[in-house]
A = this chain, B = another copy of it.
Amino acid sequence: MNRPTVHDIAKEAGVSLATVDRVLNARPGVRAKTIAKVQDAVSRLGYVRDTYAANLARKRLFRFVFILPEGPNQFAETLKAAIDEAYSAQIADRTVLEILRVPFLDPHAIVRRLQQLDVTTLDGVALMVPETPQVRDAVARLKAAGVAVVALVSDLPNSRRDHFIGTNSVAAGRTAGLLMGRFAGRSGEVLVVSNSMRARDSLERRLGFDAVIAGEFSGLKVLPSVESFDDPARMRAVVGEVLARRRDVVGVYSMGSGNTALLDALRESGRIGDLVSIAHELTPTTEAALREGALAAVIAQNVGHLARSALRVLRALCDGLSIYEAQERVRIEIILRENIG
What residues of B have a CB within 8 angstroms of the CB of A56 in the complex? Answer: 50, 52-53, 56
> Is A277 positioned at the interface, with any CB of B under 8 Å from its CB?
no
Q: Which B residues lie within 8 Å of A44 (CB)? A: none
Chain B residues with CB under 8 Å of A121's CB are none
A341 CA / B296 CA spacing, docked (Å): 23
Report yes or no: A61 in contact with B2, Cβ–Cβ below 8 A: yes
A56-B53, A61-B2 given; A175·B338 CB < 8 A: yes
Closest to A308 in B: B327
Interface size on A, residues (CB 8 A): 44
Q: Collect the chain B residues with CB atoms within 8 Å of residue A86's CB.
A: 327
Residue-wise, chain A 183-214 has the 8 Å CB interface mask toward B (1 for contact) of 10100000000000000000000001000100
A56-B52, A56-B53, A308-B327 known; A339-B171 Cβ under 8 A: yes
CB atoms of A302 and B331 under 8 A apart: yes
| Subset of 12 A-B contacts with CB under 8 Å | A50-B56, A52-B52, A52-B93, A56-B56, A86-B327, A89-B324, A89-B327, A179-B336, A182-B183, A183-B183, A329-B341, A334-B339
